Amino acid sequence: MPVFLDTTAADFEPAFQSLLSAKREDSPDVDAVVAQIIDDVRTRGDAAVIELTAKFDRLELTPETMAFSADEIAEAVARVTPEDRAALELAADRIRAYHEKQMPEGHRWTDEAGATLGWRWSAVSAAGLYVPGGLASYPSSVLMNAIPAKVAGVGRLAIVVPTPDGQANPLVLLAAQLSGVDEIYRIGGAQAVAALAYGTETIAPVDKITGPGNAFVAAAKRRVFGKVGIDMIAGPSEILVIADRDNDPDWIALDLLSQAEHDECAQSILITDAADFGEAVAQAVEKRLETLQRRTIAGASWRDFGAVITVRDLNEAAALSNRIAPEHLELCVSDPEALSQKTIHAGAIFLGQYTPEAIGDYVGGPNHVLPTARSARFSSGLSVMDFLKRTTLSQMTPEALRIIGPAAEMLAKSESLEAHGLSVTARLNRLNG
Amino acid sequence: MPVFLDTTAADFEPAFQSLLSAKREDSPDVDAVVAQIIDDVRTRGDAAVIELTAKFDRLELTPETMAFSADEIAEAVARVTPEDRAALELAADRIRAYHEKQMPEGHRWTDEAGATLGWRWSAVSAAGLYVPGGLASYPSSVLMNAIPAKVAGVGRLAIVVPTPDGQANPLVLLAAQLSGVDEIYRIGGAQAVAALAYGTETIAPVDKITGPGNAFVAAAKRRVFGKVGIDMIAGPSEILVIADRDNDPDWIALDLLSQAEHDECAQSILITDAADFGEAVAQAVEKRLETLQRRTIAGASWRDFGAVITVRDLNEAAALSNRIAPEHLELCVSDPEALSQKTIHAGAIFLGQYTPEAIGDYVGGPNHVLPTARSARFSSGLSVMDFLKRTTLSQMTPEALRIIGPAAEMLAKSESLEAHGLSVTARLNRLNG
């Protein structure tokens, strides 16, 4: 049974607090193992990667077979059905169109002092994308990571994807091809992250690594951070649905279950202003759980972390939503636009009852890599910005230096940084002398 | 003596590689101590913070005296000279004007399928800024961190600044006042970071922590990352100057020294296409080092990590600059604009000989918190973006769902996520039924 809360109950606040702070994930401490693997790859390069792949993925590689060849990719991609290909192409096109609009512009201006200031954006030169193998090998995640990188202008984009026992997912290879990925290596785990960060004889190092992975991959990304850039370390997925009584309980139940089926640690929360509607949704969830393929996972998630919260009104719903800062937020209410103005902290908002969150996972256009575990309070989903960096630009004229230089001299003096001041003074002396 | 390199020399490549990979900083391993301090503050709140402040800063606080009172701030600020105040105000105004131009805009559009898509930006609700105490207590850093936060719209901005033996820097308090800071606490170290991240009885928790600090502060920021957002963990400062022979060697020498005087681990590099000019600059550095106040620090930095590199032409200079990816890049050449197009990876570029880097430290307008240690390959300086987050928005109409929903159903099936597909199917059944 999920937890049922009601804001009018006397014990609501502590119960809500405990929902907020529930620890959903047990991160195994794999840091020591990962440190050793990274050292090994840094020291021995290809040889280490090949040995570790034989050990963990039961796959014998050589430097020559580490990457998929063009022929291998073409052969695998040819096995994809036309229907699957069409769906993936539609998704790729929509994700590309959305992310193209995200490209920020540089700016340059001259101010009253005569100083020309501004900034420009440029792409990361090379990026690497981790794609999990086996069951969690999602072609949609390839699109969501690779397309923003290519839209940003990343010159070289490499994918690493483990292929346990040599099994590769043709849809993953097709997604990579549609995204314009340049290199695909059949390696995984911490050894793949190390190879991307430090390079080997066969794999050139990259500047940024993104993409989801297990505890080993997450620990490896944390460890190489600084040497290269990384995206967020994502936790288990979450959804918050705010729904009034004018919804089909079965639709809302399916939306809650579409998060719950990801992972036993996923969390699905319904907030409604109608207690009987909340009951109806909970019943619809139970009914769907009888037949759902992934009912064991979805049932555990719903039972352990699910919640139905009844509120007095939608203002209260918005206030609770801001405290939850959900990764995904569905607003199934009569005026979703108005409510969205009040739900400030959220990774992605889905407005209205015809926008199930699953649309956003695949074909909506916005990115499905989103901040989890309340980090939407301070961070954003993946975007082209993750593959760009900003360089600030300043140019003084002699006159501009005359106007603002003395203040710099004064501040340098107050901070006891004499050479800072002298670098301005020497120039002003010439200009004034 | 700094290292002198010449790209025409046979051993240039290994020598440049070793310059690139020189380890400049010994990070003491303070992680265990910091973990304990954070646990202590989480468990005991104010009491722990007060005890640790007595121990490390020799300062007895109570919950009531943890924050500076308005009277205390006014009293300290009144001691600032009119000249210092004017300089700080000029700096604050220019930094504010620059960062106001950085505010990004949200976007909303309806595509051919009838889907309304977009994103919006919103500010982090509460941010905390760490300001080092003692010698490294720089009012300019307060402006550079606090003004972007307030321009972004952060509602509550708290500063923590240790005041060893009760000594506070009036200019730091004035900088905080000019920036619109809401709360100033006289605490520091890992305990201050923990208090900001987890809150105490007196200090409400924040969502994001920025600002420089020593090894304890850096370790604490790494540890609370995830619970709150943090800015980058900055390493020692660096400058690369690309200068042709038409420069005053003394000006360039002072620019190099203005980084070197920060820290013995700072790095100053000159690249020039004229070997004799490089020699002249090195001599000018030695001459200035005879009298510079911070000559011990600056001399050690220049001797241990400084470099003068002679290149065949400016294209070669740009290529080396991109491999260095410097924090600060000065282009003292006849056509700095043209050269800047080729120097892609840099935190901040200063164009022309009248733009010494020190201008950017204080009054130029762009931020002086910039990516160090080659991380300009993948990251950017501090900006309003650090205090904003993006929420993506999607709204389907029934018609839009009819058009793109089937592709989502297909992809959900290929990823074996049945509930995802059913959440679309249930809606399409109603629409089509």
DSSP states of B306-320: -EEEE-SSHHHHHHH
From residue B310, give the alpha-carbon distance in Å to each of B8, B22, B276: 8, 19, 9
Shortest Cα–Cα distance, B131 to chain A (Å): 14
pLDDT above 70: percentage of residues in chain A: 99
Closest of A354, A357, A323, A351 to residue A338, by C-alpha: A351
Indicate the pLDDT class of residue A112, thresholds 50, 70 and 90.
very high
pLDDT digits (tens, 9 = 90+) for A327-383: 999 999 999 999 999 999 999 999 999 999 999 999 999 999 999 999 999 999 999
Residue B22 has pLDDT above 90, yes or no: no
Interface ipTM: 0.96
- From the list B407, B364, B234, B325, the residue with the least C-alpha distance to A208 is B325
Burial of A204 (0-12, 13-18, 19+ CB in 10 A): middle
In this predicted structure, the answer to whether residue B31 has a pLDDT above a threshold of 90 is no
A421 touches B at CB < 8 Å: yes
Q: pLDDT at residue A27 above 80?
A: no
Using one digit for the tens of pLDDT, what is the confidence trace for A280-292? 999 999 999 999 9
Q: Nearest Cα to A405, choosing from A430, A386, A388, A380?
A: A430
CB-based contact, A134 to chain B, within 8 Å: no
Q: Which site among A116, A389, A413, A429 would you substitute to test the B interface, given the most B Cβ atoms closer than 10 Å to its Cβ? A: A389
Minimal CA separation from B340 to chain A, in Å: 9
**B430 contacts A248? CB cut-off 8 A:** yes
Q: How is residue A45 annotated by DSSP?
A: T
Q: Which of A127-136, A305-314, A353-362 has the lowest mean pLDDT?
A: A127-136
Is B391 in contact with A346 (Cβ distance < 8 A)? yes
Give me the pLDDT at residue A161, please.
Answer: 96
For residues B296-306, give the mean pLDDT.
97
> Contact at 8 Å (CB) between B420 and B393?
no
Contacts of A207 in chain B (CB under 8 A): 377-378
Residue A98: which of B117, B366, B383 has the nearest Cβ? B117
Query: Which residues in chain B touch residue A391, judged by CB atoms under 8 angstroms apart?
Result: 344-349, 376, 380
The 10s digit of each residue's pLDDT in A49-88 is 999 999 999 999 999 999 999 999 999 999 999 999 999 9
DSSP letters, A365-421, are SS-S----TTGGGT-----GGGGEEEEEEEE--HHHHHHHHHHHHHHHHHTT-HHHH
AA letter at B88: L
CA distances from A92 to A176, A368, B378 (A): 10, 13, 25
**What mean pLDDT is predicted for residues B71-81?**
96
Indicate whether B128 pLDDT > 90: yes
- pLDDT tens across A289-308, in order? 999 999 999 999 999 999 99
* Residues in B touching A373 (Cβ below 8 Å): 226
pLDDT of residue B231 exceeding 70: yes
How confident is the model at residue B39, as a pLDDT?
96
Specify the pLDDT at position B81.
97
- pLDDT bracket for residue A25 (50, 70, 90): confident
Q: For residues B111 and B178, what is the distance between their CA atoms, to the nearest angstrom?
A: 45
Query: If you ran DSSP here, which 8-state letter would residue A228 be given?
Result: B
Of the candidates B135, B133, B123, B139, the one whose C-alpha atom is nearest the C-alpha of residue B160 is B133
Distances, alpha carbon A148 to alpha carbons A12, A100, B236, in Å: 42, 8, 32
In single-letter form, the type of residue at position A80 comes to: V
Binding residues of A for substrate, as ranges, are 237, 259, 262, 328, 361, 415, 420
Mean pLDDT across B226-246: 92
Minimal Cα–Cα distance from B74 to chain A, Å?
19
Residue A394 has pLDDT above 70, yes or no: yes
Interface test with A, best of B31, B261, B420, B432 (most A CBs within 10 A): B420
The domains found in chain B, sorted by start residue, are 3-21+235-364 (3.40.50.1980), 31-103+124-230 (3.40.50.1980), 396-432 (1.20.5.1300)
pLDDT at residue B107 is higher than 80: yes
Asked about A328 being catalytic, the answer comes back as yes
User: Which residue among A262, A414, A426 sits closest to B84, beta carbon to beta carbon?
Assistant: A414
Active-site residue flag, B99: no
CB atoms within 10 A of CB B19: 19
Rg of chain B over Cα atoms, rounded to whole angstroms, equals 26
- Give the β-pairing of A238-243 and B328-332: unpaired
User: Which chain B residues are Cβ-neighbours of A91 within 8 angstroms?
Assistant: 407, 411
pLDDT at B207: 97
Report pLDDT for B323: 96
Q: Which of B418, B428, B432 to mutate to test the interface with A (most CBs of A within 10 A)?
A: B418
d(CA A259, CA B427): 17
Amino acid (1-letter code) at residue B215: A
| B99 appears as a binding residue in the annotation | no
CA distances from A346 to A22, A323, A377, B121 (A): 19, 10, 7, 11
Size of interface A-B (CB pairs under 8 A): 368
pLDDT band at B88 (very low <50, low <70, confident <90, very high): very high
A356 chain-B contacts, CB cut-off 8 A: 423-424, 427
Interface contact A91-B411, CB threshold 8 A: yes
**pLDDT recorded at residue A433:** 80
pLDDT bracket for residue B148 (50, 70, 90): very high
CB-CB neighbours of B194 under 10 Å: 28
Alpha helix positions (H), B126-274: 139-152, 170-179, 189-198, 215-224, 249-260
- Read off the pLDDT of each residue in B77-98 and give the average, rounded to a whole number: 97
Residues contacting residue A380 through CB under 8 Å, at least 6 positions apart: A347, A371, B389, B390, B391
Q: Which residues of B touch A401 (CB under 8 A)?
A: 354-355, 359
Of B228, B254, B392, the CB nearest to A348: B392
Task: Name the token pair of A367.
Answer: 């990115």
Q: Does B136 have pLDDT greater than 80?
A: no
Contact (CB, 8 A) for B181 and B190: no
- H or E segment at A269? strand A267-272
d(CA B25, CA B377): 20
The DSSP code for A68 is: P
